[in-house]
Amino acid sequence: MINSSLKELATALATRKISSVELTTLFLDRIERYNPALNAFVTIDRDKALAAAHAADKNFGAGGTAALTGIPLAHKDIFCTEGWRTTCGSKILDNFVSPYDATVVEKFKAAGMVLVGKCNMDEFAMGSSNESSYFGPVKNPWDLERVPGGSSGGSAAAIAARLLPAATGTDTGGSIRQPAALCGLTGLKPTYGVVSRYGMIAFASSLDQGGPLAKSAEDCALMLNAMAGFDPRDSTSLERPTEDYTRDLDKPLAGLRIGLPREFFAAGMDDGVRAAVEAALDEYRKLGATTVEVDLPNSGLSVPAYYVIAPAEASSNLSRFDGVRYGHRAADYADLNDMYARSRAEGFGAEVKRRILIGTYVLSHGYYDAYYLKAQKIRRLIAADFSAAFRECDVIMGPTAPSVAFRFGEKAADPVQMYLSDIYTIAVNLAGLPGMSIPCGFDQNLPVGMQLIGPWFGEARMLNAAHRYQQATDWHVRVPAAFAA
């Protein structure tokens, strides 16, 4: 059961081979046994989970079930969850219990999925290693001395260790794809606007997008079916016809044109990563795809542009955490301003403070044109580069991350080194495109991720390319030895 696909679990549940209560108990027991070593969860609620599982089992009796009914999942702790503590990985929200559900949470509830817990994450989703969480770092199940990637590292570690079949994540600059790569999973960041951001605590609103993490492309397609859709409560949500993201999974790949950005394959990635990615491209050619070199001339500017735009938006979004409305309030203060200052000084961690300072600076009167406006222009050029590239190809491929999982502390002391972990993923967010990471091999016994990037709304084709590859290879079914049973 722990290695089963969502489809297999759905069949087992529908044919009553197992009940949702039994399945949920199985995963809850694994969480209890393994989570102390991994720290993948901030909150686990056995009672709430079993109550939801009971309700799902009753639905099977009544015949009212959807594709995911009765299957356990967890949400990244950035999604507001009614009656559950929602921390966003921060001390400032340590005691915050959400009064309402995020749209994504609502949708999974409506689909009958069983929420078992909330996953650990980098504080306010700022990070690439999960070391910035107030609740301590998450460990990578492939090697407990290494990071799981970030910021959705708790979700990724939980699935990689088979503590759950699937989970949600969010991706502002790589936070679904990069931990998927470092933990040997499949993760998908949808086109901006496809998944509602309502109730998803905002980091950088023009970049943030929720998406699934799971073991395979097929599982991600099923999860996305449940998550996606127009939401009038999110002003950036797109009103488009409902899609079935599984519809093209089995299409043959003959004729698929894969674009290989010269900039991605220049120096920068580790040799072992390059070898795995090139072997995967050979496999794609065997499956009938052709490859063509494309140019993304401004992609080298994506990290600097992102680290102006994302902090600018964060500095504004995080101004709501003031000790008045919710979250941590300093115990001692002289007056109102002092209360704000102390609550924020005590409540936010170092990385979050760095971003607020940078963001406030680049938006300030004297520097707005020089930094913020310039970064927005670069963003436009990056999107135009992708438009041009997609005239020559159907999907772009390359590495997800420059290296496999790194050791704790290896990059934490140097923010710029950390920021460069997302060198291949950030341009996708700046352009609002859909992107995925799929496992494509190993380097130093650690998983390597391959990135797929689609044109706007190209999720189904991208999932098709990922699924056919996963039918031909077995990288995505490997399990870290310590968690295999």
Residues that bind ligand GLN (CB under 6 A): 125-128, 151, 171-175, 203, 310, 422
Nearer Cβ to ligand GLN (131/394): 131
CB of 458 to ligand GLN, least distance (A): 20
Chain-centroid distance of CA 426 in Å reads 13
d(CA 441, CA 447): 6
Nearer Cβ to ligand GLN (140/175): 175
Contact yes or no for 83/97 (Cβ under 8 A): yes
Q: Which token pair is 456?
A: 């706007």
Nearer Cβ to ligand GLN (23/156): 156
CB of 77 to ligand GLN, least distance (A): 13
d(CA 445, CA 412): 23
Contact yes or no for 50/308 (Cβ under 8 A): no
CB of 364 to ligand GLN, least distance (A): 21
Q: What is the DSSP letter of 97?
A: B
Q: Which of 76, 107, 139, 215 is catalytic?
A: 76
Nearer Cβ to ligand GLN (24/170): 170
CB of 318 to ligand GLN, least distance (A): 13
**Whether residue 152 lies in the annotated active site:** no
Residue 260 to residues 220, 277, 280, 389, 452, Cα–Cα distance (Å): 24, 11, 12, 9, 10
Q: Which of 446, 438, 426, 459 is nearest to 281 (CA)?
A: 438
Q: Which of 128, 155, 175, 299 is catalytic?
A: 175
Alpha-carbon torsion (357, 360, 362, 367), positive or negative = negative
**Whether residue 76 lies in the annotated active site:** yes
CB of 126 to ligand GLN, least distance (A): 5
CB of 277 to ligand GLN, least distance (A): 21
Q: Which token pair is 89?
A: 């990985």
Q: Which of 4, 129, 133, 151 is catalytic?
A: 151
CB of 418 to ligand GLN, least distance (A): 7
Nearer Cβ to ligand GLN (234/422): 422
Phi–psi pair at 23, nearest 5 degrees? -65, -45
- Other Cβ atoms within 10 Å of 236 Cβ, number: 15
Compute the half-sphere exposure of residue 450: CA atoms within 13 Å on the CB side of its CA: 30
Nearer Cβ to ligand GLN (133/151): 151
Nearer Cβ to ligand GLN (24/196): 196
- Other Cβ atoms within 10 Å of 53 Cβ, number: 25
Q: Which of 315, 310, 316, 276 is nearest to 400 (CA)?
A: 276
**Whether residue 175 lies in the annotated active site:** yes
**R_g (Cα) of the chain, nearest Å:** 21
What element of type H or E holds 223? helix 217-227
ω before 151 within 30° of 0 (cis)?
yes
User: In terms of DSSP H, where are the helices of 254-293?
Assistant: 262-265, 271-286
- Residues marked active site are found at 76, 151, 175
